[in-house]
Structure 1
Amino acid sequence: MIKYIVIFILGFSFLQLIIALMNWVFGVRLIKKTNPNLSKTISILIPARNEEDNIGYLLSDLIETRDNIIEIIVFDDESTDKTAEIVEGYVLKDKRIKLIKSQGIDEGWLGKNFACHKLSLLAQGDYLLFLDSDVRINNKVIERSLDYVFNNKLHLLSIFPFQNMLSFGEKISIPNMNFILLSLLPLPLVSLSKSPSLAAANGQFMFFENKTYKEIQPHKLFKNSKAEDIEISRHYKKLRKSIHCLASVKDVSCRMYKGLPDAIQGFSKNVNYFFGNSHILAILFWLITTLGIIPILLAQSLDLFIMYIITIILTRIYISLSSNQNVLENILYIIPQQVILGIIIYKSMFNKRKNQFKWKDRII
């Protein structure tokens, strides 16, 4: 029995290694140079709720970007802090910036999905770029993204931002997102395969072709989804729309969560969506990647043990390189990262059972 378990664990680990290597070797990068296509326009759309610590930095980045951007619309989703006041100050600095204040959420909607849908109804650009308020933009990445979308005839481009991790708690939690994504999903196949299961997106940076977006109205379609970004990407694949997903572009960055409690609370909302919305598969993944070493040790083979350890370390190295993360830290923190992943999955299961998902002081 142990023999077959060991074979399964080693096979799964090798598969993770192959996928991680593929994502590093064949991962698509945005070109540094851009040929401005001034005939195409972009609407920047920002849903914001209690983002007084972040929104000013993003707007400062955006007002430095002139080409193609015809409007920057912020939807204040019933913030209880100074978010609206800060945005109003930037409205005076740049006539492209507009502030829309929520009049409440319609029944059956989640707040962010409702905000994104309302923003899309106001947008006039040829392309829609949805940005989270905690994102930072550098080095003409929006113009480069437009070039990439236009040249590849894409209906959707999504970018996983480079994650700024300052605390120990962030370093043992946030890398789990990339570990799951880049060891299970070959990102080059997102564009090459027609299978909806090979799809991914990150709501922090989603660049849509407007005409197709208006036809599909994806945020309305998934108005009550806690992982609307993933749902939208899969739906686009079902409709045979062209999408690409890029991992950790350094010119798009953010500090997603400020500390371990925020990270656990945030990831517990949607970790199961990485596994087809199945907590069973999430638990199985955690068991294999965390406790898989036990059957290897029970097999009493030094060669198998060394092979397994090398496979695990190489997988982490390739994922760290693809994510522009610190390689040494991700190797040293393997054990605490796996412990936190288990806590996130448990928290997700508990919240789902009790219907207690909470984000930005709102039950979702």
Structure 2
Amino acid sequence: MMTILAYIVISFAFIQLLVSAVNLIFETYLPAEGKKDGPLVSVLIPARNEEENIGNILDDLLAQEYRNIEVIVFDDQSDDRTPEIVTLYTIREKKISLIDSAGLPEGWLGKNYACHSLAQSAKGEYFLFLDADVRISGNVIGRAVSFSDKKRLDLISSFPRQLIETPGEMITVPVMNYILVSLLPLVLVRSTRFISLSAANGQFMFFRAGAYKELMPHEKVRNNMVEDIHIARMFKKAGKNVSCLLGDNDLSCRMYRGFRDAVNGFSKNVIAFFGNSFLLAVLFFLVTTFGFLAVLASMPLSIFAAYVVACITARIIISVASRQNVFYNLLLIIPLQFSLGLFIYRASINKIFRRFQWKGRNLG
């Protein structure tokens, strides 16, 4: 029995290595070249208590090489200086506008309602939804337009390069890309019709406006906490063309600020990476954390060594593809794995007791 388990663990490690290599080699990022001018792109930013971030993303957008944009910010009942900051930008920049929330309707989550409302006001041929804490530079918008046109895509989503500044973030934030890049060949999101091969990140979602208006995705997922993945699946089910990519140095985000913030955030969506199956999430945690014991106990040292090399190589590839620090990701493998276990545990507790909260709102 132990030998069979060891073979399963070894096979899974090499599958992770293969998937990681595919994600490093094939269509990992937006193409380097992009248009400088073209159809109007509506950049849509839901914002709640984002006074530390909103000015940065607005400055980034005004500096984009792609000029034909409108920027609309939806203030989701912030109790900080977010609306005042945006108002100052609207005075000097005609392409920036602000929508104030009149309140959250029954049955909606805040971000989903904000995105839906933003889309109602957008005039562009493309809709780019950005979180307020995202940073973009260069010609990201033009690159997205070019890639969408070339591949005839209805939705492009990207996982921005995660900015990591504190020890608490170092042992939590890399977990997301470890799961994503080792399990899902991103090129298959675009090249196959399998709905199970879907992924998206609400931090950066670039829609062809016609496809968005046809499906009205945020309205259909109005009370779903993991709206991004569900929207990607919805688009693939409807026969739309979807692509999921990683962010390069021109697209980044400091997703969480510290350990507690990361645990609270990841516990909302970690199970979605496993098809909403707690069982698969737990099995992934057990195999990747304790599977080495079965290999060590029942296999020759040469095979155990090959297994360890495969695991380490996969971690290196994932870190390189994700533009993360290879040294720290290897050094902190053990706390990273136990953070994954904590995310899953917290997700289960939150599910049972409906304790999900984000930015002062109960999401349960």
TM range (shorter): over 0.9
CA distance in structure 1 between the partners assigned to 2:238 and 2:249 by the alignment = 31
CA deviations over 1:253-303 (Å, ceiling 9, x no partner): 110001110000000001000001111111110000001111112215211
2:361 aligns with 362
Q: Which runs of 4+ in 1 moved over 6 A?
A: none
CA distance in structure 1 between the partners assigned to 2:248 and 2:92 by the alignment = 29
1:28 is displaced (CA, Å) by 3.4
1:138 aligns with 137
1:68 is displaced (CA, Å) by 4.6
Asked if residue 69 in structure 1 is aligned to residue 71 in structure 2, the reply is no
Matches within 5 A, 1:46-57: 46-57=45-56
Say how many residue pairs are matched: 363
CA distance in structure 2 between the partners assigned to 1:342 and 1:64 by the alignment = 41
Asked if residue 113 in structure 1 is aligned to residue 104 in structure 2, the reply is no
Q: Decide which moves more: 178-187 or 292-301.
A: 292-301
1:66 is displaced (CA, Å) by 6.4
Kindly indicate whether the alpha-carbon contact (under 8 Å) linking 1:200 and 1:230 is maintained by their aligned counterparts in 2.
yes
RMSD: 1.1
Kindly indicate whether the alpha-carbon contact (under 8 Å) linking 2:74 and 2:98 is maintained by their aligned counterparts in 1.
yes
Kindly indicate whether the alpha-carbon contact (under 8 Å) linking 1:42 and 1:68 is maintained by their aligned counterparts in 2.
no
1:314 aligns with 313
1:27 is displaced (CA, Å) by 3.2
CA distance in structure 2 between the partners assigned to 1:214 and 1:363 by the alignment = 29
Kindly indicate whether the alpha-carbon contact (under 8 Å) linking 1:37 and 1:147 is maintained by their aligned counterparts in 2.
no
The gaps in structure 1 that reach 5 residues or longer are: none
Kindly indicate whether the alpha-carbon contact (under 8 Å) linking 1:36 and 1:147 is maintained by their aligned counterparts in 2.
no
1:190 aligns with 189
CA distance in structure 2 between the partners assigned to 1:107 and 1:78 by the alignment = 15
Q: TM-score, normalised by structure 1?
A: 0.97
Matches within 5 A, 1:67-216: 67-216=66-215
Kindly indicate whether the alpha-carbon contact (under 8 Å) linking 1:105 and 1:114 is maintained by their aligned counterparts in 2.
yes
Matches within 5 A, 1:254-273: 254-273=253-272
| Partner secondary structure for residue 292 of structure 1 | helix
The sequence identity of aligned pairs, in percent, is 48
1:21 aligns with 21
Kindly indicate whether the alpha-carbon contact (under 8 Å) linking 1:158 and 1:244 is maintained by their aligned counterparts in 2.
yes
CA distance in structure 2 between the partners assigned to 1:277 and 1:110 by the alignment = 19
1:34 is displaced (CA, Å) by 2.6
Asked if residue 240 in structure 1 is aligned to residue 239 in structure 2, the reply is yes
> What letter matches 1:288 in structure 2?
V
CA distance in structure 2 between the partners assigned to 1:26 and 1:64 by the alignment = 29
2:350 aligns with 351
CA deviations over 1:81-107 (Å, ceiling 9, x no partner): 111111111111201111111111111
1:327 is displaced (CA, Å) by 1.1
Kindly indicate whether the alpha-carbon contact (under 8 Å) linking 2:159 and 2:201 is maintained by their aligned counterparts in 1.
yes
